[in-house]
């Protein structure tokens, strides 16, 4: 027999405030729709299921100089965060599942965080705000593939979320192994924490549907 839980969001996940001085950014509570949970599965905390489980992390002033490789990494990471935002926004419109809406907002904040570094280090930003449009061809192709997978069902759409966050975590880890600039390290570390929270949200949404992935 199915039981119902009502998910209530306090603030969206992975929100990080990147201002000129250390501070925090908060978001008004969002009430989300009920979700059915299969019998025999203990409901996870509503904030995790809704993708609202991370407290904003303060980050400080941009300092130092960067290498060409670090600059290229910033441009790629901005578009990768945009890919996540674009896909989750699309999937929310299709399925109206709150986790996609909340995490798409978080990804938008992540995009802005990386843009502030790009601007602060006087790098030319090669991205735009149009969904599905990227300077990087790999991300362009990935957007099409992820949309197609997400179109199959809500379960496949949640798997897309897992795929995106695993890729994001790996790419951030690879960048952190190379980056020397302290400001970039701080931002990437915080983005990684956000991605870990997003991954938890998607995997738990799959588990309450009886699916373990990956």
Mean pLDDT of 48-76: 77
Mean pLDDT of 72-87: 98
> Residue 61: its pLDDT value, please?
74
Pick the range with the lowest mean pLDDT from 7-11, 91-95, 100-104, 160-164: 7-11
54 or 70, which is more confident? 70
pLDDT above 70 for 203: yes
Q: Structure pTM?
A: 0.79
Length of the chain: 214
The full set of domain ranges for the chain reads 3-207
| Predicted confidence (pLDDT) per residue in 108-146, tens digit | 999 999 999 999 999 999 999 999 999 999 999 999 999
Mean pLDDT of 11-32: 30
With CA atoms as reference, report the closest residue to 166 among 137, 205, 198. 198
In a 3-state reduction of DSSP, which class is residue 102? helix
| Predicted confidence (pLDDT) per residue in 151-165, tens digit | 999 999 999 999 999
With CA atoms as reference, report the closest residue to 34 among 8, 5, 9, 10. 5
With CA atoms as reference, report the closest residue to 175 among 98, 76, 108. 76
Tell me the C-alpha to C-alpha distance, in Å, between residue 133 and each of 66, 82, 140, 142, 183.
27, 9, 6, 11, 28
> What is 3-207's CATH number?
1.20.1260.10
């Amino acid at each position: 027999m199915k039981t119902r839980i009502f998910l209530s969001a306090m603030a969206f996940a992975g929100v990080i405030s990147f201002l000129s001085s250390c501070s925090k950014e908060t978001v008004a509570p969002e009430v989300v729709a009920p979700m059915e949970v299969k019998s025999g599965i203990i409901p996870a905390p509503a904030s995790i299921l809704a993708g609202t489980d991370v407290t904003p992390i303060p980050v400080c002033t941009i300092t130092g100089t960067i290498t060409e490789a670090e600059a290229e990494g910033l441009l790629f990471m901005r578009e990768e965060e945009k890919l996540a935002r674009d896909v989750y926004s699309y999937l929310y419109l299709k399925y109206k599942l709150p986790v996609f809406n909340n995490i798409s907002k978080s990804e938008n904040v992540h995009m802005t965080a990386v843009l502030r570094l790009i601007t602060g280090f006087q790098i030319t930003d090669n991205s735009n705000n149009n969904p599905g449009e990227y300077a990087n061809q790999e991300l362009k192709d990935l957007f099409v593939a992820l949309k197609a997978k997400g179109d199959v069902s809500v379960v496949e759409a949640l798997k897309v979320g897992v795929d995106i966050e695993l890729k994001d975590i790996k790419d951030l880890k690879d960048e952190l192994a190379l980056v020397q600039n302290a400001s970039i390290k701080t931002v990437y570390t915080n983005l990684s924490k956000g991605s870990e929270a997003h991954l938890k949200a998607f995997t738990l949404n799959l588990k309450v549907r009886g699916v373990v992935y990956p």
